[in-house]
Chain A
Amino acid sequence: METGLILLLLIFPLAGFLINLFVGKKLGKTLPGLIATAAVTGSFVITLIYFIKIVSTGQAIHVHLFEWVSFSDFKANFELVLDQLSLIWLMFVTGIGALIHLYSIGYMKGDENIDRFFSYLNLFIFFMIILVTANNLAIMFIGWEGVGLCSYLLIGFWYKNHKFNDAAKKAFIMNRIGDLGFLTGVFTLGYIFKTIDFDSLKLAVTTTSNLEVSGLLGLGTLCLFIGAMGKSAQIPLYTWLPDAMAGPTPVSALIHAATMVTAGIFMITRLNFIFNLTPDVQLFIAIIGAVTALFAASIGIFQTDIKKVLAYSTVSQLGLMFLAIGLGAYHVAVFHVITHAFFKACLFLGSGSVIHAMGGEQDMRKMGGLRKVLPITFATFFISTLSISGIPPFAGFFSKDEIMVVAFENNIGLWVLAALASLMTAFYMFRALFLTFNKGFRGTEEQKHHLHESPFVMTLPLIILAVLATIGGLISLPFGYSWLNEYLSPILVAGVPAEHGATSHQFMLIGISVLIALIGLAIAYYQYIVKSVVPEEDDKITGFAKVAYNKYYIDEIYDTLFVKPFYVLANFFKNIVENIMNAIVFGFGYLIAALSIPLRAIQNGSIGLYLFFFVIGFCSIVAYLFFV
């Protein structure tokens, strides 16, 4: 009964995927969306049941199915676990997932392949559920690669455009580079501990005091983090995420903002007891996180495509989460994952609503003044902007503030980076808000004529997410009762630091954080409202702005360093190496032929004759064996 219900969690989206994949075309234009949304809603309901259960009992539930792979040293069973960590992720994966499915019914209306869209979306939810409920690293890897595959399928959903296909491919390949790291990490842990089950690993870590393994252990956690870099778009494996915006906007909201990209945070939090043993790697994670946060934010400032702004903002926010993780504050990272899921999903869906109204236009320079035509979209986008910028009392304020406190207490240098990133975030988010919704309309007459608020199926998710982006902070209040910290404490081995009451420097830090956000807001207001600046056309951008607008040319650098050499090698292999080797093989043949001029007569290429000699030769060998 228990098992059956938990399996339904997976079966719903899987069934939705299969139905839409194989018979979707026959279901017409509306049914595929309804089926897919119902499937995810079903999973959400089941999640909710178990979530309520675990909040009251605190007991994790394990479902053992069967053995999947076995090695000489360890094996991996198909085993799912519903504990505090997986359930909280499931809550927003299926919850926000259901909202985004609903939104997509409106957004994707009229697309000729709507059935395929929803089937991929359901498949994504299926793999995401596997990822978070896995009870060992191998099963987690199924979800890990599976979501990457769905990401590939959805980024390249409009497959007639090769640019989109390139973006999809890039996302997949970069993720796979990370995945090699992930697997190496899995092997290392399995090799050391002879198990890759989370429970047994936890046990092994607490019972082994053997420090000889620590070097190898560091390799393991480092490799796993490389996996997280790929999936969660951290330097140097982040360049796929901005390109991933080629996918339909609901995809960006679901996969490339709220859920899949947080998988890296999830995995490290899951293994917090092991990462805690390798402080060097932790510091490395924190540095990568902080640098990514700042770096991506600095690119975000100069982008003119509304989705690109949000994409870099996602990379930047993920960087902040890794900063928290690296400093051992897993609960803080999880908190920010949750609030980020709310406000970033809302922002993306809001941008989708704008793009929908603009007939596909994504360039903010052609927008403006949409506040009046799209009031709901504007209001929700505004709330989420306040939230991400860290302005109280919105959800983002609480989670970001906690990150800043942790950073300040541990490493002042990293705090400075994070503070700068926050300043930029507030600036570019308000810049996006003002450019899109304020001042006059800068698009074409035709677009102006076409402007309309989105239908209810699209605005309802926006409203719900905006509410969550407002009040989401309540789950973990500073200085007061933190429900989240208490909830997560069974997962975090080192425990959650007890609140040591309000200290003066914490008040000061809050003050600074808010001040930073307000400064960002003010600069944006001055630039885009008071001075009514509109970003310049592409060819007029100069100086540093041009470098940042072109993302520091990182894509071009990667292309030259890592992609082109393969083609050069391929040419070299094809045109030179193969010919040389062929020449050698034939050379041997000719050499033998030349050495056997008397036998030339039979070298006539008749296979029959060769076979004849084969048989003769064979018989003589047998005869030899007989008589000698």
Chain B
Amino acid sequence: MNIAIILLILLAGSLVTYFSGNRFASKVAMLFAIAAAAFSISLLLEYQSTGATSYSIEWISKPNIAFSLKVDGLSLVMLLLNSLLLPIIMLTSISHTVKSERILYSLVLFMSFAMTGVFLSSNALVYYVFWEMSLIPIYFIVVLWGNGERAKRRRSAMTFFIYTFAGSLFMLAAIIYMYVKVGSLELHDIYNANLSHTEQIWIFLAFFLAYAIKIPVFPFHTWQASVYQKAPIMGTLLLGALMSKMGLYSVIRWQLPVTPYAAHELRSLVLILSIIGVLYGAIIALRQDNLKRFFAYASLSHVGFIAAGVYALTYDGLQGAVILILAHGFGIIGLFFSAEVIHRRLKTPLISKMGGIKSSAPKFTIAFFFMILASIAIPLTFNFVGEFTIMYGVYQVHLGYLLPLGASMFLGAFFMLRMYQYVMLGDKINRSFPDLTINETLVFVLSAVVLIFFGIYSKPIVDIISPSLQELMTYINR
């Protein structure tokens, strides 16, 4: 099957939605999102029978840049994450009318298109183009449909835009350097390039800057909380569930195998930064009164955990990281959407104004509590499988890294349960808090089913990703 089709579906969806008019925009977009999801599932089935697929057309002939895409197990699960989450993300807003819906949904599809490109491309320049392209729609989504004062919103979005863009320029420089050096930007050529140790260090750092800002890794996270907070729900979900994963995926695909020497050399530095992020996010969350901001810091803590798995440079660390990338994607949807559900009803984002919701909304209570359990990685949730595996991956590096990382087991539980207590429990009588609507329930159910199913039986995922990761490990351990 031609894997470029998925890109075409999303791009076409973006265009069709734009021209479909505000009334039908969300439905049309949903149709395309479902089509993309269906296509990626069929891709999965094909992959399981035939193995890795690639696709390449000559794009720019003279400097040997081909529009090449490749699907291996790792790309495939990222693609699945992206395309399965897209309908769920749209479902969060589909029953709410907003201004210029056709543009909003068109941008959402376009963003998904760009991110899919990132996950599939196997040429560094193609990859870079998609990488930057994904920034444009999210900028407009935050600025035009976000919440809070317009000026502040604009400022946050602008900081985010310039900051991540600036980081990416270093990556572009590294890519150009590699082209000059290697004469090709095809993935396998870059993997097999003979870069000197010094070159590797510089390239590693350039890539790190781009990724550390995007993920974000401490101390490059300062844009995150306010953008997550000010973005509309679909924007927050795209950022938290998918865009941060783009950074993590890129580390595995583009950074570690290309610069293995530097990765080992600088491992302690990046591991420590990741772990600081885990603890920093967990602690600072204690003092957040805005629920979305709270989840933004929680997310900082969780992606730090994933980054630690990646940068441990052990097979288990990588495998756990990929698992947690997927789990966190589905889980974060439930968390941010819970904040949205509450916000829609109580019209406040402040935890101090909430409380006592449990008495009036039993369905929502179960849904929200489950999402919290997943985020603190209770066994039998998918998140646990990821955290468990990462922790073993980090343990193999040194016990000294595991213990502070593992501290998030109780710190994370502490800030999450504390938040839950003040949001949901207590004897405060809340103004009528209608329980979940059908669409809202569906969002929770869909993500919960994934988290529980793979929490109990993760083997299918592991079987898909492990050959690719093993191959990558041979490059990383060169």
The answer, yes or no, to whether A569 is at the interface (CB within 8 Å) is yes
Are B414 and A169 interface neighbours, CB within 8 A? yes
B323 nearest CB neighbor, chain A only: A69
A176 contact set on B, CB distance < 8 A: 409-410, 413
Given A66-B457, A68-B458, check contact A180 B409 (CB 8 Å): yes
Interface flag for A142 (CB, 8 Å): yes
Q: Is A498 interfacial (CB-CB < 8 Å)?
A: no
User: Hey, which chain B residues are within 8 Å of A571, CB to CB?
Assistant: 287
Q: Are B379 and A146 in contact (CB under 8 A)?
A: yes
Check A191/B414 contact, CB under 8 A, given A184-B402, A566-B283. Answer: no
CB distance from B234 to the nearest CB of A (A): 19
Cβ of B3 < 8 Å from any Cβ of A?
no
Which of A25, A145, A187, A611 sits near B391, CB closer than 8 Å? Answer: A187
Interface size on B, residues (CB 8 A): 71
Q: Which of A179, A581, A610, A627 contacts B409 (CB 8 A)?
A: A179
Is B421 within 8 A of A165, CB to CB? yes
**CB pair A573 B284 closer than 8 Å:** yes
> What's the minimum C-beta distance from A218 to chain B, rounded to whole angstroms?
13
User: A173: which B residues are within 8 A, CB to CB?
Assistant: 410, 413-414, 417
Find the A residue at minimum CB distance from B221. A581
**Which of A162, A184, A625 has most chain B Cβ within 10 Å?**
A625
| A residues less than 8 Å from B136 (CB atoms) | 611
Secondary structure type dominating chain B contacts: helix
Closest partner residue, chain A, to B391 (CB atom): A183
Contact B286 A566 (CB under 8 A): yes
Q: Are A160 and B426 in contact (CB under 8 A)?
A: yes
Q: Is the CB of A71 within 8 A of B426?
A: no
Whether the pair A573, B458 counts as a contact (CB closer than 8 A) is no
Most buried by A among B60, B63, B362, B425: B425
Q: Is the CB of B158 within 8 A of A160?
A: no
Q: Given A162-B426, A172-B417, A626-B60 in contact, is the A567-B286 Cβ separation under 8 Å?
A: yes
How far is it, in angstroms, between the C-alpha of A573 and the C-alpha of B172 when the chains are bound?
33
- Asked whether, in the complex, the Cβ of A162 is within 8 Å of the Cβ of B163, the reply is no
Chain A window 608-628, contacts with chain B (Cβ cutoff 8 Å), 1 for yes, 0 for no = 001100100010011001110
Q: Is the CB of B425 within 8 A of A71?
A: no
State whether the Cβ of A149 lies closer than 8 Å to any Cβ in chain B. Answer: yes
Interface residue? B219 (CB, 8 A): yes
Q: Are B406 and A142 in contact (CB under 8 A)?
A: no
B402 touches A187 (CB 8 A): yes
Counting CB contacts under 8 A, is A605 at the interface? yes
Please give the distance in Å from B435's CB to the nearest CB on chain A.
Answer: 12
Per-position binary interface string of chain A over residues 1-35, scored 1 when its CB falls under 8 Å from any chain B CB and 0 otherwise: 00000000000000000000100010000000000
How many pairs of A and B residues are in contact by the CB < 8 Å rule?
152
A481 at the interface (CB under 8 A from B): no
A44-63 contact mask (Cβ, 8 Å, vs B): 1 or 0 = 00000000000000000000
Select which of A21, A25, A179, A570 is within 8 A of B287 by beta carbon: A570
Q: Is B316 an interface residue (CB 8 A)?
A: yes
Main secondary structure of the interface of A (DSSP, over half): helix
In the complex, whether A177 has a CB less than 8 A from a CB of chain B is yes
* Distance, CA A172 to CA B420, complexed state (A): 13
**1/0 per residue B356-371: CB within 8 Å of A?**
1011001000100000
Chain A CB within 8 A of B310 CB: no
Q: Is the CB of B421 within 8 A of A184?
A: no
Chain B residues with CB under 8 Å of A179's CB are 409-410
| Contact residues in B for A69 (Cβ distance below 8 Å) | 385, 388-389, 458
Q: Give Cα A586–Cα B156 distance, bound, in whole angstroms.
A: 12
Question: Which residues of chain A are near B359, meaning CB under 8 Å?
Answer: 160
A25 contacts which chain B residues (CB < 8 A)? 362
Q: Interface residues of A, CB < 8 Å — how many?
A: 62
A540 at the interface (CB under 8 A from B): no
A188 to B427, CA, bound (A): 45
* Distance, CA A582 to CA B163, complexed state (A): 11
Contact of A570 among B286, B362, B379 (CB under 8 A): B286
When the two chains form their complex, are residues A621 and B176 in contact, meaning their CB atoms are under 8 A apart? yes
**Contact between B60 and A149, CB atoms less than 8 A apart:** no
Q: What is the minimal beta-carbon distance from A165 to any residue of chain B, in angstroms?
A: 5
Min CB distance, B342 to chain A, in Å? 17
Bound Cα distance from A511 to B287, whole angstroms: 59
Q: How far is the CB of A599 from chain B (nearest CB, A)?
A: 14
Cβ–Cβ contact B417 & A169, under 8 A: yes
Interface flag for A601 (CB, 8 Å): no
Whether, in the assembled complex, B350 has its beta carbon less than 8 Å from a beta carbon of chain A, the answer is no
A223 to chain B, nearest CB (A): 9
Q: Does B52 contact A (CB under 8 A)?
A: no
Contacting residues, chain B, for A138 (C-beta < 8 A)? 388
Is B399 an interface residue, CB under 8 A from the partner? Answer: yes
Contact flag A146-B426 (CB < 8 Å), given A162-B421, A173-B410, A585-B159: no
Report how far A141 CA is from B315 CA in the complex, Å: 23
Is A156 an interface residue, CB under 8 A from the partner?
Answer: yes
Q: Chain A residues with Cβ under 8 A from B421's Cβ?
A: 162, 165-166, 169
B65 within 8 A of A: yes
Query: Would A625 and B378 count as touching, CB distance under 8 A?
Result: no
Beta-carbon contacts of B80-110 to A below 8 Å, as 1s and 0s? 0000000000000000000000000000000
Q: Does B287 lie within 8 Å of A142, measured CB to CB?
A: no
- Contacts of B162 on A, CB cut-off 8 Å? 589, 610
A residues near B223, Cβ cutoff 8 Å: 585
Q: Which of B411-426 contact A (CB under 8 A)?
A: 411, 413-414, 417-418, 421, 424-426
Question: Using a CB-CB cutoff of 8 Å, which residues 289-347 of chain B contact chain A?
Answer: 314-316, 319
B contact residues around A187 at 8 Å (CB): 391-392, 395, 402
Q: How far is the CA of A586 from the CA of B155 in the complex (A)?
A: 11
* 19 more CB-based (< 8 A) A-B contacts, given A73-B392, A176-B413, A191-B396: A21-B366, A66-B457, A73-B316, A145-B378, A152-B417, A162-B421, A162-B425, A162-B426, A165-B421, A169-B417, A183-B406, A184-B402, A219-B399, A566-B286, A567-B287, A570-B283, A581-B219, A585-B163, A605-B154
Name the 4 nearest CB pairs between A and B, nearest first. A160-B427, A625-B63, A176-B410, A142-B379
List, sorted by A's number, 29 A–B pairs whose CB atoms are closer than 8 Å.
A68-B458, A69-B458, A70-B459, A73-B316, A73-B392, A138-B388, A146-B380, A159-B426, A162-B425, A165-B425, A172-B417, A173-B410, A176-B410, A176-B413, A177-B410, A180-B409, A184-B399, A191-B396, A219-B399, A566-B414, A570-B284, A571-B287, A573-B283, A573-B284, A581-B222, A618-B129, A622-B60, A625-B176, A626-B62
